[in-house]
Amino acid sequence: AQSVTQLGSHVSVSEGALVLLRCNYSSSVPPYLFWYVQYPNQGLQLLLKYTTGATLVKGINGFEAEFKKSETSFHLTKPSAHMSDAAEYFCAVSSTGANSKLTFGKGITLSVRP
Amino acid sequence: DTGVSQNPRHKITKRGQNVTFRCDPISEHNRLYWYRQTLGQGPEFLTYFQNEAQLEKSRLLSDRFSAERPKGSFSTLEIQRTEQGDSAMYLCASSLGGTDGYTFGSGTRLTVV
């Protein structure tokens, strides 16, 4: 079985501040991990993914995430928040491949204060 | 590449009516997925196809739900005898395989009144 925990439902940061969105996963086998962003009334857009290899993964829009097996974590960071980053962010895990069934967390809403 | 297209974008229906949604995947993608997203939650897996074969169905997909992908191209998701609990965003995604992951459509928002 696989699962994702995203603690907290809302994070608020000031423009220019560090963004840190936490994700912990559970998987019985080496996982594939993903972060998606969703803007209001739209579908999900892939920010970045970890499949194999380098544990620090860089994605679009300046975001990156680090796979830490010992902590079963895949936290998303961005050094400097921009107003356009305000959206909902979902972490997801697959135990059977990057193109298999994904299990999503409940999501975190990011607000950016001017 | 025009992305994953879903129609309609919004659907309001009365309880007990049947509804059908359509998804057109990226043309070269052989895998197609349906997810359901309710307010304040992450998407939940419903079913997926490889070409025209339906390979996995979630227990969330009750007997009122049916999905098809004739000829391995577009897909339809039908809900019969809709209930208020069916109100949600229905998301379609497609993929080519390998490690690229999915591309999602913009979704169909269903409201059952």
Q: Is A81 on the interface with B (CB under 8 A)?
A: no
Q: Is A107 on the interface with B (CB under 8 A)?
A: yes
Interface contact B42-A45, CB threshold 8 A = no
Write the pLDDT tens digit of every residue in A18-58. 999 999 999 878 889 999 999 987 889 999 999 888 889 99
Q: Is B106 on the interface with A (CB under 8 A)?
A: yes
- Residue A35: strand, helix, or coil: strand
Does residue B43 carry a pLDDT above 70? yes
- Residue A100: strand, helix, or coil: coil
Residue A70 phi, psi (nearest 5): -65, -25
CA dist A62 and A59 (Å) reads 6
Interface contact B43-A9, CB threshold 8 A = no
Does residue B98 carry a pLDDT above 70? no
> In this structure, what DSSP letter does residue A31 have?
P
Does residue B1 carry a pLDDT above 60? no
Q: Is A5 on the interface with B (CB under 8 A)?
A: no
Does residue B84 carry a pLDDT above 90? yes
Write the pLDDT tens digit of every residue in A45-98. 999 999 888 889 999 999 999 999 999 999 999 999 999 999 999 999 987 766
Q: How far is CA A25 from the centre of its chain?
A: 11
pLDDT given at position B104: 93
Give Cα separations from A89 to A70, B21, B68, B70 (angstroms): 23, 26, 30, 33
**B30-41 mean pLDDT:** 92
Does the N-terminal peptide bond of residue A114 adopt cis geometry, omega within 30 degrees of 0? Answer: no
**B13-41 mean pLDDT:** 95
